[in-house]
Structure 1
Amino acid sequence: MDVSPARVLTCLRPRARVPGSAGPLAVLVCCAALLSGCDGPASAPEAAATDRPGTGRAVAPLTGNDLQSDYQRVIKDVLPSVVQIRAGHGLGSGIVYDDKGHIVTNAHVVGNEKTFQVTTANSEDSFTAGLVSSYPEQDLAVVKLDRAPGGLKAVSFADSEKVEVGQIVLAMGSPLGLSSSVTQGIVSATGRTVSEGQSGGGTGATIAGMVQTSAAINPGNSGGALVNLNGQVIGIPTLAATDPELGGSAAPGIGFAIPASMVKTIAGQIVKYGRVVDSGRAALGITGRTVVDSGLQPAGVAVIDVKTGGAAGKAGIRSGDIITKVGDADITTITSLSEALASYKPGQHTTVTFTRDGSGRTVGVTLGAQ
């Protein structure tokens, strides 16, 4: 697992505040930003001739003013396509998917709501929207404006295969209800598999291929945009790490975004079909629960039910079996099973090790789709 068990991933949706009333959290975060020197790029030493960060184009030596101009250009281009979503008592963000009024966001932002108020960037006007479909397994959802305003501009998505560690990125959204906010950082890692909790409105999803970033991400950024200096969305900010050793507060500079390729796949199906028809996620076709050993330590996943015609059933796995390994990955909990399966695609072959009546067995399995 890429994230230490001591860390907890927190969904980024704050409770709604009365417009115009900045709560204590907002004040504290603003003060922290000021104390951290987040007042815009100061003059920086000239860099050696290289590619413009995040663009792949050879340019002259980069100065602080050049970088500031890049930031301002990207913000001017992309921020109008990032919206604020009010869902019941919660607030989140979203990005414009097309000029027909489809908005992509996180499933945990929409929650169980069916109707929403959407506010566009730099505007006090709000529009009503309805849920098209939510896919909690990947923590993505699409809502559609009842009336799409003129000039609605869709975001441009980056090629996820070209996202690299060290690229400069900007996070855009509504942290703590502060609409049209922008923070900056870099891509810290790619290909992370993380599991979000169900407390605080999370879906409990295990998501593979996540982009880790140092850009400040706070409650309310969920569903917004993580953007490169080409003005392309590389991911949707979804999770922030918290550390119990810090009293459960956010671990600075550790946030995660769902990659653009996954967003396009899921959102594209929802827009076209009204639902997800091909998740691309591998599955065993079981219902299970974590079991513990005599020392009360997690020791595997007990199979409660086997789907007829599913991968596990075809391999001879039965109710009562306790799964302890998938491929080379040890399985101790439901979460670890989800994380192991996240590294596979439907149709791939692997092995599953389990115990039955005290005896260990290993069988070959061709994985199905979730």
Structure 2
Amino acid sequence: MAQPSPAAAVGTIEPATPPVDQPPPLSTAPQQLVAGLLGKADIRINGDRPWDMQLHDPAALERALAEGNLGLGEAYMAGAWDCDQLDGFFDRLLRAHLDREVHPARIAWHALQVRMFNRQSRTRAWQVGKAHYDLGNAFYEAMLDPLMAYSCGYWRNAGTLAAAQVAKLELICRKLGLQPGMRVLDIGCGWGSFMGYAAEHHGVQCIGVTVSKEQARYAQERYAGLPLEFRLQDYRELDEHALGGRVDRIVSVGMFEHVGHKNHRQYMEVAERCLGDDGLFLLHTIGKNERDSTPDRWIDKHIFPNGETPSIGQIGDAIDGLFIAEDVHNFGADYDRTLMAWHANFEAAWPRFAHDLGETFHRKWRYYLLSCAGAFRARELQLWQWVLSRNGVSGGYRRPE
């Protein structure tokens, strides 16, 4: 497996420096200001609780004040601070809405770029595949469940990550009312977890598209022999002709976060022209609480280039006149548990990847998984499954449980 070098993975971040036993005192006004803000979230600097910040370099606080989460995250990657329970740290920080009290000028510039430019154009859409999903199939096999589902599991009656992912896939199949012989389009098929499950357990045929070469290669090899077609293709290239006729069902799991608000309407138009008159479309996506909030700069730079979670209103705008919203199901709290399970797998497998990826990547990935777990725990992020129809379900839609 070819792995990127640590420098390629994190840009120009300096290597982590060894912590010192006694950090210098918080002598500057910016440092004292950040310490005061953290106190509002019941987070102490150099406290003895697992969610407290252990500060090795007070300059980390000035970076956080100047650059928000980008500065805070990069300082963590560089070893300037630690925390025994990052998920708890971010749960408290976000519940106290401290992110709303820090407004660096660079965040305003980032917000302007998001508003003015299409960061998810056809050309740029392939960047996230190369930067994130092509990291290496062996790496993701170690972190994910056996089916390689890289999205929120459904934990209602599940006790393990594997069971939660199977429950999620089965829930999707039941919500779509899959029947043997149906043709299904999977927009953003990943490593093929849904397509493989639906074909094996519900007898359907599927076409899936992804912008990740590694995902397409893995899925083609794993599911050879099943009536599945995996394409390395942008969703905007899809239409009735490209699919050999309209499909009976469409599913999109964890891909809409890469579409961007400037393309939401086009995405829905693509889905509408591909779906049969009596078809159903299930959209599974992370969601944000505020329409005008700006994508996190650290996540954008280091994890998901050009990513942008939608608000419930933005999805409503995008489907206006194209689809009827039959059902909206929020189980965002389940993402906290999913991310914690991924983190446990990642840490257990880390010795296998440490030499190739390095400690800075280790800290980056830990920060990614645990900060996101804290965000879902604080209910700053949601997970929605929308069931959409073109013409309305006769007699009304009934959600299966």
TM-score, length basis structure 2: 0.24
Identify, as 1 or 2, the structure richer in helix: 2
TM-score, length basis structure 1: 0.26
**Which of the pair has the greater relative contact order for Cα pairs under 8 Å at 6+ separation?**
2
